[in-house]
Structure 1
Amino acid sequence: MSCNVSCGAKAPKVEKLCEIRNDVWNVQGYENETIDLTKATNTQSAIICNCKNVKILLPPKMVSLSLLECHDSQVIMEALISGLELTSCKKVKVHASKNLPSANIDKSQGIGFYITRTNAEWIMFTTCKSGDLNVNINKNESGDVSQDDWTEVAIPEQFQHTINEQGKLVTKPSSLY
């Protein structure tokens, strides 16, 4: 059996697609563009794949958003009902001005979140095989951008594991955090 792709060859470019099927927007193959999904409804979700250097605009409220293999991109949103999923992404910035209940991050690097102080009190981050993850929290809740006051918090990527007296595994972030 032989392979038609030589080592080091670039993957073929993904054909552009933007369509809705069963309340799910499927978007792929965009580069150096704005993906405007602001007309989507609060009963719809979006799956965005293989995009590079894109700006993704979401409606005021949407069920969920999944990004797969997106690079050098940003997401501008108000709220998601369920949550956000990032898989195999690099250098993605997520700006949530209201409600982002959860973010699942898998095999991704260089992810930055920009959220409100209120959102920071209850958002749940789940990570796996990811690094260089930061959460930027805006303490200003006045709405006046000239008074923005951002604090950056790193999501740990290094952990220490011990076995306690009961034989249970105890995991905590490395002392580097």
Structure 2
Amino acid sequence: MTALARLLCGRRARLRWVHLILGGALAMPYVLVGSVVVGPLAGDANVFGSLRLQLASFAIGLPLAAVTSLFPLTRPLESWVVRSLCGVEAERLAYGPARTKGEKGRTAAWFTLHLGAGGIVAGMSLAVPPFAGTLIVLPFVPALREGWPVLPGVLHHTWALALSPLAGAAMLVALAGCAAAVGTLLARWA
């Protein structure tokens, strides 16, 4: 159990999670530009009200990130961050600006992967804990059971109240597992 806890919540896993959240933060300007493009094309002023349009904004933003990764300082900055937060050995990384087409392509691919995976994990990190926390306290706070239009009668059943804390805890463990797995993959692909 200790090995599993270390794998999911140990120092290295937490630092890699921070690395992914930074990738999500870096992705946001590109996603916002994507939403400016998607909104008028879809004829919808509220891009953030539709999951489909949000995903389209994300899909448009990632190629923009790939183009901006050709800026010479991207590779040295990403290398430093990967070394510091992901625990990748210094000799595996290139610290100089990307000069050849191959180096630029690898830098663009890595940067886009970092922002894409980071955007997904950061979004999960923002959405899952409040929902999981609500599920955990649901049996103990009756006011939370009112006004759930998606599950109108389910939340008053004893079995739902008994299982909701377990479901909330399982969601938190699954989130930590996703972050650890994606962080490990990014560290290997650095």
**TM-score with structure 1 setting the length:** 0.17
Structure (1/2) with the larger helix percentage: 2
**TM-score with structure 2 setting the length:** 0.16
Structure (1/2) with the larger strand percentage: 1
Task: Report 1 or 2 for greater relative contact order, CA contacts < 8 Å, sequence distance ≥ 6.
Answer: 2
Which structure has the larger Rg over C-alpha atoms? 2
